[in-house]
Each structure stands twice: as C-alpha cells, then as structure tokens.
Amino acid sequence: MTPREIIAEAWAITTREVTIRRWSFTSSFFETLLNLKLLVYQIYFAYEYFGRGGEVGFFDIEIYIYHSMPFWAFLAIITFFIALVVIELFMPHLCLGAIIGLAAKSHRKEDMRGGLVLALYNFLPIFAIHEFLMLSGLSTLITASSLILRYIDPALKLPSIYFAIGLFLVANTLKFLFSFAEEGVVIRKQGIFTAIGRSFKLIVSHLGHVVFLIILLLVISLRILINTLMVLLIPGIVIGIGLLLTLFLSTGISYTIAGIVGVILIFIASYFFAYLHAFKQTVWTLTYLELSSQKDLDVIETA
C-alpha cells in the first residue's frame, strides 16, 4: 500500500468502525481531563508565583479545600480526585491496545470483537513502553519546569530547565523511533524490548515512507483540528456569557455551573479528538502491517 492508500484506508476504518471510536473517545476523554487538571494547577501556581510574588506550596489547593468545607466532604473530594487521576493515567494505555487490535482486525475483515481482551492483555507492556517516554509530553515538561521554578535553588533553575528541555527532546526522538512498538506488542505478541528494537529497525529502514506519512498526517490533522476549533467556538462564546452571569450568583453555584460546563466541553472536545486519535493510530497500525510484511533490508538471500 502507498502512503495515500494507507491514509484513505485508515480514514475509512475510522468512520466505519464505531467500536474503535468508542475506545478512542474514552482514551481522549481521560487524557484531556488529566491534561486540563495539570494545566489548571500550573496556571494557579504561575499566578501565585509570578503575579502575586508569593510562596507557593505544593498542596495549597488541597489545604484551601480542607479549610473551606467539612472534613467528610474534603475526604470525599480528595479520594475521588486520587481515584480519577489513577483512572486517567491507566485508561489511555488500556484503550490503545484495543484500538490497535481492532484496527488490524477491521483491515483484515475480521470480526470486530475482543476489544476488552486486547485492552487488558496488552496493558502492561504498552504501559511500560510509555513509561520510557513519560518525559515526551508537553504537559510533563510544563509541570517539571513549574516545579523547578518553585523549588530549585535560584542558581540552578536555568540549567535545570535546559536539562528538562533536553530530556524532552530526547524523549520525543525516542518516541518517534518507538512508533511501532505498541503495534508489535499487540499484533505480533512481541516482548517489550523486541517490539522496541523491531520498531527502531522499521523506522530506519523505511524512513522516507514514514516521514511522508507524517507530513500527510500533519496536514490532515491540522485541517481536522481547525474544524474542531470552529465547532467549539460557538459553544465557547455561549459558555463565556454564562460564566459572566455567574457573577450575580453565589460562589458555590458559580463553581458548580463552571464545573458542569467544563465537563460538557470536555465531552464535546473528546468526541472530535476521538476521530483524530482513532485515525492517527489506525494509520500507524496499517503502516506497521505494510512495512512488517516486507523483506528486512539487512536480510541477504543466499543461493
């Protein structure tokens, strides 16, 4: 298959298979929720540190909640928050195994069942692979930089941030080279290091093919994201007006309304991100199937 054929087939699978989109929606929802929480935390810390020039404690928000409500309510909120963070950390890894396996099944015209089995069976190796790349996320870099600015000795702040950025670049380079590792785990049932090594070999052997696919993906993804932003613009304006009206209501009601609106927005965004996530992952799955079926470049046939 040519890159264009892979793109076309991946989009057809994405729009055709509701099961894949459901897993993608679940992954996108929890991933978006986690990133938004991290962003809100860092915005608060940045405001306190730069805007007000005050000392920022690591548990300032939790302490504020503790002093603002009864202990049972505080305990319930913290317990729910911790449970939610655990789910947000694990759920995307669970969903990825199902998405890859179901995309491969759809491509091969197999029965679209077994998503939960694929998710559970491949969770640990996929989680381990992603832990190697935990510093590749932008939210992780922002969080690390925030911690450095708040708690590291002033003389070491700038070198530490440069070091964090360096680790971020290295992690993203490895992430590119590990692009097919999850597919190797799910489709070929390879071990973690075997899948990583095989991914590295496929990327290097077919670099031109992969880079061309990445360029196509970027162009298509930008178009999808622009469409998504346009769809979210009108609800955003409505929500902005609604939040202005909360100035006339009590703090509790205002926070409740803002929270409900935020969850609704996350659901809407996750719906569109589900298409993008499913499409992107299906492209990589089909590319892996295509490239792994070809002869290895380092294999020399002997007479």
pLDDT tens, residue by residue, 200-243: 888 888 877 777 777 766 766 665 565 455 545 555 555 565 56
Write out the residue range of the structural domain in which residue 226 sits. Answer: 3-133+178-292
Of 4-18, 69-83, 131-145, 263-277, highest mean pLDDT: 4-18
pLDDT (0 to 100) of residue 212: 73
- Residue 99 clears pLDDT 90, i.e. is over it: yes
Domain annotation covers residue 164: no
Name the residue among 289, 276, 298 with its Cα closest to residue 11: 276
Domain annotation covers residue 151: no
pLDDT (0 to 100) of residue 124: 92
Domain annotation covers residue 92: yes
Domain annotation covers residue 163: no
Residue % of the chain over a pLDDT of 90? 17
Between 44 and 172, name the one with better pLDDT.
Answer: 172
Confidence of residue 97 (pLDDT cuts 50, 70, 90): very high
32 burial via Cβ count (<10 Å: 0-12, 13-18, 19+): middle
Domain annotation covers residue 170: no
Residue % of the chain over a pLDDT of 70? 77
pLDDT digits (tens, 9 = 90+) for 248-276: 666 666 666 766 777 777 787 778 888 88
pLDDT (0 to 100) of residue 51: 67
DSSP symbols for 110-157: -----HHHHHHHTHHHHHHHHHHTGGGSHHHHHHHHHHHHHHS-HHHH
- Residue 108 clears pLDDT 80, i.e. is over it: yes
pLDDT (0 to 100) of residue 242: 58
* Average pLDDT for the chain: 79
Q: Which residues, at least 6 apart from 235, have a Cβ–Cβ distance to it below 8 Å?
A: 265, 268
pLDDT (0 to 100) of residue 12: 92
Domain annotation covers residue 161: no
Domain annotation covers residue 284: yes
Domain count, the chain: 1
pLDDT (0 to 100) of residue 28: 85
Domain annotation covers residue 158: no
- Residue 75 clears pLDDT 90, i.e. is over it: no
Whether residue 77 contacts residue 259, with contact meaning beta carbons closer than 8 Å, is answered with no
